[in-house]
Amino acid sequence: MPVRSAWLVNRTDAESGQSRADTRLAPTGTMTPTSGLASRSGIIPGSPDGKSLMSAFYVFSSTAGMTATIAPGRAVVQGGEAAGAYPVVLTDYTTMVFADGDANNPRIDLLVLRIYDAQVDRTGRTEAVLEIVQGAAEGNPQVPLTPPASLPLATVQVPAGASVGTGGIAWASAVANLRTSTVAAGGILPLYGNTNEIGAYPGQYRDIGTQLQRWDGGNWVGYPGQIGGIVPTGQLATGGYVGQYRDNNGRLERWSGTAWVLAFPSAAFAYDNDGGYCKTTTWSEALTGTTGATITATFTAPVSGKVLVHLGFQGQPSVEGGWGRMSANIRKDGVLVTGLGAEETRSAVDTNRGNQSVSTVFPVTGLQAGAQYTAVSAYSSSVTTNNHWFDNRFIRVDPML
């Protein structure tokens, strides 16, 4: 069998020389570590044409029957920590024959790349081999346990009664690939199996095919979520640091430390051209004679916590010398924000007889960045006998960055 392993030879080491275990444990060609002494078992990635992530030790069959073919390649098989890691190479395509199926029940066989080392395992064998671990034939067959110092390559479902004479194994559907990859320490690990396997050390990277991920000591974090990257939609519910950005379904948002805030908040605008009148001398959000008395502009406070509120209307008093005012109440979750109720100094004022268009603009500060607010129209009249008319009313809120 053309399976060979470096540092595994059929001889006894000289007492004064370097042992085979010494060589395997020394950091020569260090692979991905899994502890202070152990390395990650796996297949060395790559393919002859560069189109496949990993061609080595691929299990397949191009003909019907009970025989599988294993593609050549290189791998690392970790034994116990004291034994070290065994570099292995399969130099040629190699066939393996599976035993005929049980007469009554199916079974699942496990194909592994296995190391026998008489100095470590007391098996009396010293070699690297491809081996079929035959499963138990039963109504609900299970995958057999992986032997020590072995790298699983594939499971193969063997139907009841399978043999060369009955058509053998349905290779197109019977093989489940179990291969995993490994690379040198510091290399980017191509994800090939073992999706949920934890990282070896903080700062390790892996490529999952669509994204580069970094192990932070507890989780695999998408590289776009790292410093300077814009996190794709749906990838991050909570920011990792103040100033991080994410794409939220087309909206660019910035993490403030407590919430995702629009990176560039847009203006909010509300308008109604159905007129109505007010004759109360105190501030009221209601008008009489219109179905659209109140106009509400909903906005998100920018990082600065500051906005400009611009409002106006076309108005006319019903009495000579009368006047009417329009202002805005600033609310959060429906509750009036202290100090931000409608008032004279933040109002547009129309006075005397005849139609006039008036407007005003004023700043609002001290808002909670990222919080949602509403600017709600409010009206007042000079006297209760003045049915002051308000029409073409609008509120616009612009963020101050």
Complete DSSP assignment for 136-147: PP-SS--PPPPP
Helices marked H in 116-251: 118-121, 171-174
Using CA atoms, how far apart are residues 363 and 346, in angstroms rounded to an integer? 9
Same domain (yes/no): 46, 80: yes
Using CA atoms, how far apart are residues 144 and 116, in angstroms rounded to an integer? 19
Using CA atoms, how far apart are residues 154 and 96, in angstroms rounded to an integer? 12
Q: Does 237 map to a domain?
A: yes
CB 316 within 8 A of CB 397: no
Average pLDDT over residues 328-344: 96
Same domain (yes/no): 33, 159: yes
Q: Does 184 map to a domain?
A: no
**Last residue in a domain, options 262, 293, 313:** 262
**Domain count of the chain?**
3
CATH number at residue 359: 2.60.120
What length is written for the chain? Answer: 401
Using CA atoms, how far apart are residues 338 and 367, in angstroms rounded to an integer? 11
What does the pLDDT read at residue 172? Answer: 93
Q: Max CA-CA distance within the chain? A: 118
Average pLDDT over residues 362-374: 93
Average pLDDT over residues 43-49: 89
CB 340 within 8 A of CB 330: yes
Using CA atoms, how far apart are residues 146 and 151, in angstroms rounded to an integer? 8
**Last residue in a domain, options 240, 262, 284:** 262
Average pLDDT over residues 148-174: 96
Same domain (yes/no): 105, 225: no
Give the residue with greater pLDDT, 223 vs 226: 223
Q: Does 183 map to a domain?
A: no
Name the pLDDT band for 159 (thresholds 50, 70, 90).
very high
Is it the case that residue 288 has pLDDT exceeding 80?
A: yes
Is it the case that residue 7 has pLDDT exceeding 70?
A: no
Token pair of 135 as six digits: 């499963």
C-alpha distances (whole Å) from 20 to each of 7, 17, 198, 229, 326 are: 5, 9, 30, 46, 90
Q: What is the pTM of this model?
A: 0.56
Q: Does 298 map to a domain?
A: yes
Name the pLDDT band for 198 (thresholds 50, 70, 90).
confident
- Considering only 7-16, 69-78, 103-112, 124-133, which range has the smallest mean pLDDT? 7-16
Same domain (yes/no): 219, 123: no
Name the pLDDT band for 401 (thresholds 50, 70, 90).
confident
Same domain (yes/no): 312, 206: no
Give the residue with greater pLDDT, 292 vs 345: 345
Q: Does 182 map to a domain?
A: no
What is the percentage of the chain residues whose pLDDT exceeds 70?
91
Q: Does 250 map to a domain?
A: yes
Is it the case that residue 152 has pLDDT exceeding 60?
A: yes
- Considering only 28-32, 74-78, 298-302, 356-360, which range has the smallest mean pLDDT? 28-32
Average pLDDT over residues 5-27: 56
| Domain boundaries, position 234 | 195-262
CB 126 within 8 A of CB 10: yes
Burial-class residue 75 by CB neighbours within 10 Å (0-12, 13-18, 19+).
buried
Same domain (yes/no): 239, 154: no
Q: Does 61 map to a domain?
A: yes
Q: Does 277 map to a domain?
A: yes
What single letter denotes the amino acid at residue 163? S
Same domain (yes/no): 172, 66: yes
Is it the case that residue 195 has pLDDT exceeding 80?
A: no
Same domain (yes/no): 135, 200: no
What does the pLDDT read at residue 327? Answer: 98
What does the pLDDT read at residue 129? Answer: 95
Residue owning tokens 């191509």: 190
pLDDT digits (tens, 9 = 90+) for 247-268: 999 888 888 888 888 787 789 9
What is the percentage of the chain residues whose pLDDT exceeds 90?
55
Is it the case that residue 102 has pLDDT exceeding 60?
A: yes
**Last residue in a domain, options 147, 177, 207:** 177
Is it the case that residue 9 has pLDDT exceeding 60?
A: no
What does the pLDDT read at residue 14? Answer: 47
Same domain (yes/no): 282, 346: yes
Mean pLDDT of the chain: 89
Element (H, E) at 22: helix 20-25
Same domain (yes/no): 69, 167: yes
Same domain (yes/no): 92, 119: yes
Same domain (yes/no): 223, 290: no
Using CA atoms, how far apart are residues 60 and 154, in angstroms rounded to an integer? 10
Burial-class residue 35 by CB neighbours within 10 Å (0-12, 13-18, 19+).
exposed
Name the pLDDT band for 271 (thresholds 50, 70, 90).
very high
What does the pLDDT read at residue 52? Answer: 86
Is it the case that residue 134 has pLDDT exceeding 90?
A: yes
Using CA atoms, how far apart are residues 57 and 130, in angstroms rounded to an integer? 10
What does the pLDDT read at residue 11? Answer: 45
Using CA atoms, how far apart are residues 401 and 398, in angstroms rounded to an integer? 10
pLDDT digits (tens, 9 = 90+) for 64-100: 899 999 999 999 999 988 888 888 889 899 999 999 9
